[in-house]
Chain A
């Protein structure tokens, strides 16, 4: 039976670090899912099936949280007692915000003009910034274990990822 008190890293037998090996996570996920999935308990008792549903959902949730660089950072902070995306404190540096607002404006204009090329290059530059922050987070979290100083960077990464996703939607809408 799945131990619901263990954190997501523990669940997959991985060290609680920001940089994780994707292949190891995938393998651990599949192994765990093959043990708890409802398909294994289709003929079990109601209690067995209920347990399988909950365990399997938990494993899916853990996998989702660790696979994504933004959610992984948020989760790593949260198990160290820091809420990076809480409602009370949403502070971001002014120059960072200004730069992103400019980008958003530029994207809006490109969308109106049907300019897919500009949208694509904007998205690439946002994604490039996001990768730099990921590298920085790896240094802060894995080498320095400095969770508090990582907090604003996690917030920036969250913001950039949302922006890249929104630009992606714009590109998709031009395609349809």
Chain B
């Protein structure tokens, strides 16, 4: 695009340049997409008015289905209908504590486990991308065009591998992900802004497959996370599984087929949900061999078989309070997030620990997506009343390096406010040593074997020196998404050996590019739709940029030129309403040609402004 635009940094280029911004809660059990409309965050429902999308993807003979359509088939086609894929993000086969719980055909792969489906071997990133794509399409239909920016939420206790996998899934789904946002923090934003809350709050977030506890200080429009803790493999799923095991025992069932197992798991979940409002829940199911399961689960039994799951959430709560150097009595309110917090025994345990009943005046399923939408709206530059707030989040796990003897040296401790950059110097231990292996770790334990390995890289070209003379400075940098980059440099000699790594799990950029290509190759109309969406974005940008430029530097065009520009813009507006991407592309180019001279004169003016100390912001891409 030819136009240059001059604006103050941090300000929207023009008041009418409204951006389509969405917040996405990519959950273990359910996902949601929300946006801000007329200053109010709202969830975008499907045509039938349902706000949730079950996080289920089915790879059927005739294509990929998601949500309720996939859910309907989960018991008849369990091996090709993937549920709870979030539990597999960034995880290898050896990380799964009990892979037999899943009926899938797992394929071990370096970095992340894969699943064999009838549509080929799928990585959790691809499966998540199929979910995100469905959410993107829902949002595009509701907002009338391509998404300009998205915020995708992740559990606060997600580690580097899980975060990177989520970001990769967004990229693969064609979503412009502006930020990964921690789920409890998103909830705090939604709750805090709604209630003008001030003080220290705890967010207890028990989702389908993950548990987070975050302690935040809310003060004068600043959301400051003081500490976070959790368990990224603990959630409502585990309660279902306890019920499932109880049913097998109570009904004395033999080993089950995948289809029967899934059926009973579904019934177990229903029983769990029933027990939130009733004292007992019947479980009735007919298995494939005609055997009928007919048992009744009481609330008392349910509470006792899940008691240790509840206590597993209490340890992280205590640790987070300790890290924040606070006592339970310092907490002004406890916000409950996640469908699993509807269970009465969870609410009782939380009330007991904090000495106060938790806050339940918000929808625990929707609050995360709503908070993400508010953040997305702000990041996209859509101005709202009361958007003058600041979010300061932390990393959940310490980051460090392996040192001699299989021990870890922490470079950035957990609960450090992000973004954060920190460097430490290391040295050689042998005379003449010219290379050094750097092993990046994440976790709290002293021994390397007990932490998660994020990647290894080697620094070469260190000039030969006596042992201990080289000064190798290793820098860790964590960005606002909580993602890490590591670089290393030899200091003493001026010989710069410098390397930047992205940790070694997940997908490479070229793999993602290939997957993107593959996914577009599937359907011709997909390609057409994408081409149209892309050129529509470009068209909107050029219209915004041209109008803003004319508003600022209108005196640089004469009347004839102005008429030509207006005509080109009017033509573009007509083509924008249609669906012919080639015609729209031609119209964009016509506006480009009509504004060429203007753009050049503006650039000259821009340069002279820059020389006199004013700031130039290009909006050229």
Chain A contact residues, CB within 8 Å of chain B: 30, 33-34, 37-45, 48, 53-54, 56-58, 60-61, 63-64, 168, 172, 175-176
Contacts and interface: CB of A to CB of B under 8 A. Distances in A.
A39 B378 CA distance: 8
Nearest to B620: A45
Given A34-B390, A39-B379, A41-B10, A60 B417 contact: yes
Contacts of A63: 417
Interface string B379-421: 1110000000011100000000000000000000000111111
B421 A30 contact: no
A40 B10 contact: yes
Contacts of B315: 176
B421 A42 contact: no
A38 B379 CA distance: 9
Given A30-B222, A30-B390, A53-B477, A41 B9 contact: yes
A53 B380 contact: no
A57 B10 contact: no
A33 B223 CA distance: 12
Contacts of A38: 419, 479-480
Nearest to B220: A30
B380 A42 contact: yes
Nearest to A175: B318
Contacts of B422: 61
B617 A45 contact: yes
Given A38-B479, A38-B480, A45 B618 contact: yes
Contacts of A34: 222, 390
A172 B392 CA distance: 27
Interface in B463-493: 477, 479-480
A57 B477 contact: yes
B549 to A, nearest CB: 17
A56 B480 CA distance: 9
Given A33-B390, A42-B380, A172-B319, A61 B480 contact: no
Interface string B210-230: 000000000010100000000
B179 interface: yes
A53 B477 CA distance: 9
Given A57-B421, A60-B419, A42 B390 contact: no
Nearest to B379: A42
Interface string B183-199: 00000000000000000
Interface in B500-554: none
**Top 4 closest pairs, chain A to chain B, by CB:** A42-B379, A57-B421, A38-B480, A57-B419
B322 interface: yes
Interface in B318-355: 318-319, 322
A39 B9 CA distance: 12
Contact of B392 (A33, A41, A44, A61): A33
Contacts of B416: 60, 64
15 contacts: A34-B390, A37-B392, A38-B480, A42-B149, A42-B179, A42-B380, A42-B381, A43-B178, A44-B617, A45-B618, A48-B9, A56-B480, A57-B420, A57-B421, A60-B420
Nearest to B621: A45
A39 B417 contact: no
A38 B178 CA distance: 11
A39 B377 CA distance: 11
A81 B420 CA distance: 25
Nearest to A40: B10
Contacts of B178: 42-43
A61 B421 contact: yes
B390 A37 contact: yes
Contacts of A175: 318
Contacts of B419: 38, 53, 56-57, 60
Contact of A61 (B222, B381, B390, B420): B420
A34 B219 CA distance: 13
A163 B480 CA distance: 33
A109 B271 CA distance: 50
A58 B422 CA distance: 9
- Interface hub of B10, B149, B418 (most chain A Cβ within 10 A): B10
- Interface hub of B149, B381, B416, B417 (most chain A Cβ within 10 A): B417
B541 to A, nearest CB: 11
Contacts of A61: 420-422
A37 B379 CA distance: 11
A37 B420 CA distance: 11
Interface in B417-433: 417-422
B9 A44 contact: yes
A92 B421 CA distance: 32
Contacts of B222: 30, 34
- Interface hub of A33, A48, A176 (most chain B Cβ within 10 A): A33
Nearest to B19: A43
Contacts of B220: 30
